[in-house]
Structure formats: structure tokens, C-alpha cells
Homo-oligomer: A and B are copies of this chain.
Amino acid sequence: MKTLKWNSALILLVIMFLLPVINCFGNETLDTGIDDARYNKAIHIMAMLIAGFGFLMVFVKKYGRSALTATFLLVAISLPAYMLFNNFFFFPKIHNEIERLILAEFAGASLLIAAGAVLGRLKMPQYLALGLMFVFFYMVNEWIVVLGGLNIIAKGSVVDTGGSIVIHAFGAIFGLGVALTMTTKDEHKKTIQTDSTSDRYSMLGSMILWIFWPSFCAALVPAEAVPHTVVNVVLALCGSTLATYIVSVSLRGKINIADIANAALAGGVAIGSTCDSASYSFAIVIGILAGTLSTFGFAVIQAKQQKLLKLVDTCGVTNLHGLPGIFGGLAALPIVKGISMGSQFIGILITIGIALISGFLTGKILALFGRKKEAYEDAEEFMDAED
């Protein structure tokens, strides 16, 4: 077992070492224009990836060190991987350095969503392998749905500025695909433990995501569209936050802090597709509906899903990113003038298809690396981690 782990890790190191050497030939063609507005958004997104997603996943009481380490590793593998694959494979080359960084961060965000579905049940090197495979499939989907790859959908005809479909829904459904292959009976029975400290860490992650979400959605919109986009995202998040509280206490009798930490963000997920085109009224309505849908998912659907599909979705990414992502993609239909209904539907269907199949495949491959013995616990892999 240990040997296999080491082999995989060393191979990774060699890959990371060799590919940039190949990559360097392509460097010089990059446009290095001054791009300060986008630079700041790139840093904001980095805060979301690392501290946002990282701490949101710390809600698992005994798995905090692992969740944070895995977040570091997933970011550290996905950003160079996206840049290298863009240079190396058949994807259309990106010629602006900051734009490429931001697109790589989008892939990292989607990966962190996918990893959330199986959090606590992968060994560390498996997160790395997941990252490498995920980024490739993510780029294939992005290429087909957004960039007109294979000429299935006309380039630019899917409305998805802030990535409700290709970032959020893709990541969540890919994660479900992985979870389908690797949930054991023990994991199915095991309750995920939280306490007040892990809950507060999780709220920290959620808040960091909330704060910087406008930069995520506005990162690549034209400068003149940034203000309206930003206010739309803020209003959608306000809507989902209010709706989450009301629906949570309504369905459960008391507030569930995990609902707040997660579903409050559903407005950001769902406004993605139309963040630059919705009116303020639509933005806040989308937020309210997304928060309602997501909280309903956590409170009602999740238990049924686990029973029916015999899987565990550790972080509930189906409810935070899957359903609100697809809802956001569909919400573009009544909102955006001149939208191609066909493209939008096909784009969503292709995303679901590629995510599910490639996630399932990835899960099968990850299974070759063995299994974590004790789910949701640091102590198996970390020194001095019994407390």
C-alpha cells in the first residue's frame, strides 16, 4: 500500500517537474498587458478557493487538518495543471496571463466542489490524482460547452458568465459520479460529527466565499459591466441568505447552522449564468429561490438521495452547487433576451453527461489506490492528531 502511495506521489512530482519545461516554450507569446482590475479579482478568487472552500469543509470535527491540507493540495495541483494542459493539449490557447490564471482558478473552484462530495473518504494522494483527472475532464466540458469545441454548440451561445453550469453544476455532478463508486456501507451509517468550533470555522469559510463572490462572477466581464454584475451578485446572496434562514427554521423547527453556512451561498451559485444580464429584481428573486431550493435540498432531499442512490455526499454539494447551478442555468431562459433555448438546454445536458460519466470513471480509477480505513478522521494520516 505504502509503495503504491509513494509511486503515485513521485510520478506526480516528476510530472510537475517536466511539464513546465515543455511549457516554457509557450511563455513568450503571452500578452502581459497591465490588468490591475482583473488581478485584484484573481486574488479575491484565490481567497475563496483556499480559505473559503478550505474552511467551509472544516465542519467535519475530526477532519480539519485533512480538509485544509487537501484544499492546499487541490489548489496546488489544479492551477499548474490547467495552465499546462492549456499549453500542451488541443484546447484553444489563452494569451493573457491573468485571464489564464483566473480560468485556472475557476477549474480549481469546480474541483474543490467535486472533492466536497467525497470529503473525508479519500487518502491524500487520491485527492491529487482526483485533481489531475478532474482538470482534464473539466477542460473538455468547458471546451465543448463554452468554446464551441467539436462544433456541437456555437461558441458563446450558452449563457453562463459566472459559471452556474460549467463550474458549479459540473463540479457537483462530477463529485456525485465519484461518490457513486466509492461509498462503503460503514460510511453510509457513520454520522459526521461537528461541534461549535468546527461550525464556527465552517461559517468563516462560508463568509469568505460570500464576501468575494462578486469578484468571482465579475472576474471576466467587461469593465463597464462590472458594477451592475457586482450589485446583482450581492443582491442574489442577500436573497438566498434571508431565504435560507426562513426555510431552515420552517422545515426543521430550529435553525441548522450547516444550512446557513451552505445554502446562504446558493444565490451566488444561481446568479452565475445571468450575473451580468439580470435586473436587480430578477437577481434578488433568483437568490431567494436558490436559497429556498438549496435549503430544501439539505433538509429534505439529502436523506432520500443517500438512501436511494446508496451514496454519501459529504458536503452536500448536490444541494449547494448541483441544484442551484442547474436552476441558475435555466433561469437565463426567461431573463436573457435573444438567448438560444436549444444551446442552453444542450449545454446543461452535455455538462451533466460529461460530469457524471467522467466522475464515475475517475472514481473507479481512484479505487485502485485503495481506501481510507477510518472515514472523517485525521489520525490515520496525520501525526499527533488524536485530539
Residues of A participating in the B interface, judged by any CB pair closer than 8 Å = 6, 9-10, 12-13, 16-17, 20-21, 23-24, 27, 30, 32-37, 39-40, 42-44, 46-47, 50-51, 54-55, 58, 62, 64-65, 68-69, 72-73, 75-77, 79-80, 83, 96-98, 100-101, 124, 128, 194-197, 199-201, 203-204, 207-208, 210-212, 214-215, 223-228, 230-231, 234-235, 237-239, 241-243, 245-246, 249-250, 252-257, 260, 264, 279-281, 283-285, 288, 378, 381-385, 387
| Cα distance A25–B345 in the bound complex, in angstroms | 31
* Closest Cβ–Cβ distance, residue A161 to chain B (whole Å): 16
- Select from chain B the residue with minimum beta-carbon distance to A243: B13
Check if B210 sits within 8 Å of A50, measured CB to CB. yes
* Given A16-B239, A227-B32: A55 touches B24 (CB 8 Å cut-off): no
- CB pair B242 A77 closer than 8 Å: yes
Nearest chain B CB to A240 CB, angstrom units:
8
Instruction: Pick the contact of A50: B55, B211, B230 (CB < 8 A).
Output: B211
A51 contacts which chain B residues (CB < 8 A)?
Answer: 204, 207-208, 211
- The 4 A-B residue pairs with the shortest CB-CB distance in the complex, in nearest-first order: A76-B241, A20-B281, A97-B227, A76-B238
- What residue in chain B is nearest A37 (Cβ atoms)? B36
Contact between B43 and A227, CB atoms less than 8 A apart: no
Residues from chain B with Cβ under 8 Å of A225 in the complex: 32
Closest B residue, CB atoms, query A259: B383
Q: Is the CB of B69 within 8 A of A280?
A: no
A255, B124: Cβ atoms closer than 8 Å: yes
Which residues of B have CB within 8 Å of A210? 46, 50, 72
Given contacts A37-B36, A284-B80, A382-B256, contact A72 B228 (CB under 8 A): no
**CB-nearest residue of chain B to A292:** B13
Q: B194 contacts A384, CB within 8 Å?
A: yes
**Contact between A199 and B65, CB atoms less than 8 A apart:** yes
14 extra A-B contacts, CB within 8 A, seeds A24-B279, A54-B207, A83-B280: A20-B235, A20-B283, A27-B279, A39-B226, A43-B214, A64-B199, A68-B203, A68-B260, A75-B241, A76-B264, A101-B231, A194-B384, A200-B201, A254-B381
A101: which B residues are within 8 A, CB to CB? 230-231, 234
- Asked if B246 and A13 make an inter-chain contact with CB atoms under 8 angstroms apart, the answer reads yes
Task: Name 15 A/B residue pairs within 8 A (Cβ), A-sorted.
Answer: A20-B284, A27-B280, A32-B224, A32-B227, A32-B228, A39-B230, A43-B215, A50-B211, A54-B203, A65-B199, A72-B207, A73-B241, A79-B234, A83-B280, A249-B381
- Given A23-B280, A51-B204, A281-B21, verify A226-B65 contact (CB < 8 Å): no
Query: In the assembled complex, which residues on chain B have CB atoms less than 8 Å from the CB atom of A16?
Result: 239, 242, 284, 288
